[in-house]
Amino acid sequence: MIMEEASSIKIAKQAQAEGFPNLRQSALQKVMQGVTSLEEANRVTKD
């Protein structure tokens, strides 16, 4: 998709369809694991 110059939105949608977590999902997983705080996750992954 990158070689075909697809938009970042299309790439993100395809990644999600293939099961890749987005940055926010990954950050929240780290919160649940105790690696980081919810405040830090919210700070770096503004919706």
Residue 2 has pLDDT above 90, yes or no: no
Report how many helices (DSSP H) and strands (DSSP E) the chain contains, helices first: 3, 0
Q: Is the dihedral of CA 27, 32, 36, 40 positive or negative?
A: positive
Q: Which tens digits make up the pLDDT trace of 9-38?
A: 999 999 999 999 999 999 999 999 999 999
CB 34 within 8 A of CB 28: no
What's residue 47's pLDDT? 64
pLDDT on residue 46: 82
